[in-house]
Amino acid sequence: MTAADTRRKLLDGAIDTVRAEGLAGTSARSIARTAGVNQALIFYHFDTVDALLAEAARRAAQERVEPYRARFATVTTLAELLAAGRALWAEEEARGNAAVLAQLLAGAQTSPALAEGTAAALGLWSAEVETVLRRVLPESPLAGLLDPVATAQAVSAAFAGLSLFGAIGATPDALGQLEALVALVDDLGPLERRLVARRLARMTDTPKRS
């Protein structure tokens, strides 16, 4: 077995262990068991457990973001973005990847190494959303109201938090609520659009936001 194989097994095993046991149940021993690899090899290849987890987070995000790229590229309206987001969320939630990211994000609070890897992983997701928002938002009446960067970050982080709900009850239909709100304003007729524009102008005259 080559070194690259071992590294790969460990990276996969690390994510699988967090998925199955949570971060609290994730140790060098439990990862090695899941990966089917000797425990000492973790330290040979990655120096520390946290460094392995950070690298695993980065790689996992890359591999999961990639298949959505083509789909996101075809999105031209905010409504389509929300539909794509709904599908993405359903898939990643079902696979437990959202929960994994949330666990690592929680662990990042006390581990600088983990913080760096998790930031990179979450950044890949929000960058993807941000790209689409930059393209789609200007066509919407909501342009100028929503900031692409802040919105993408907020949505990504909120979804990570939402996935933590799994253990304590049913996950609330957050996207459904958001979708309803956005769909109401977005995709309006010309007359309504002018009304919204007027209202927007009034709002930015007397801004309530910081």
**Residue 164 engages DNA in binding (rule: CB under 7 A):** no
Query: Distance between CA atoms of 109 and 104, rounded to whole angstroms?
Result: 9
What are the structure tokens assigned to 147, written together?
A: 């900031």
Figure out which of the listed residues 33, 67, 177, 201 binds a copy of itself, where binding follows CB under 8 A: 177
Q: How far is the CB of 30 from a copy of itself (least distance, A)?
A: 12
**Residue 105 engages a copy of itself in binding (rule: CB under 8 A):** yes
Window 22 to 51, contacts with DNA (CB under 7 A): 25-30, 37-41, 43-45, 47-50
Query: Distance between CA atoms of 123 and 61, rounded to whole angstroms?
Result: 9
Figure out which of the listed residues 118, 130, 137, 140 binds a copy of itself, where binding follows CB under 8 A: 118
The vertex-70 CA angle with 124 and 57, nearest 5°, equals: 25
Residue 5 touches which member of a copy of itself, DNA, none, C-beta under 5-8 Å by kind: DNA
What are the structure tokens assigned to 40, written together?
A: 């000492």
Whether 14 and 53 have beta carbons less than 8 Å apart is answered as yes
Figure out which of the listed residues 60, 102, 113, 133 binds a copy of itself, where binding follows CB under 8 A: 102
Whether 93 and 107 have beta carbons less than 8 Å apart is answered as no
Figure out which of the listed residues 6, 127, 143, 166 binds a copy of itself, where binding follows CB under 8 A: 166
Task: Give the three-class secondary structure for 143.
Answer: strand
Q: What are the CA-CA distances from residue 72 to residues 27, 38, 128, 150 (Å)?
A: 36, 40, 8, 19
**Residue 95 engages DNA in binding (rule: CB under 7 A):** no
Alpha helices in the chain (DSSP H): 3-21, 28-35, 40-46, 49-73, 78-95, 97-107, 112-136, 148-163, 174-185, 190-205
**Adjacent-strand bridge partners of 192:** none
Q: How far is the CB of 207 from a copy of itself (least distance, A)?
A: 10
Residue 168 touches which member of a copy of itself, DNA, none, C-beta under 5-8 Å by kind: a copy of itself
Query: Distance between CA atoms of 188 and 67, rounded to whole angstroms?
Result: 31
Site residues (vs DNA, CB under 7 A): 1-3, 5-6, 25-30, 37-41, 43-45, 47-50
Site residues (vs a copy of itself, CB under 8 A): 21-25, 79, 83, 99, 102-103, 105-111, 115-116, 118-119, 122, 142, 145-147, 149-151, 153-154, 157-169, 171-174, 176-177, 179-185, 188, 191-192, 195-196, 199-200, 203, 208-210
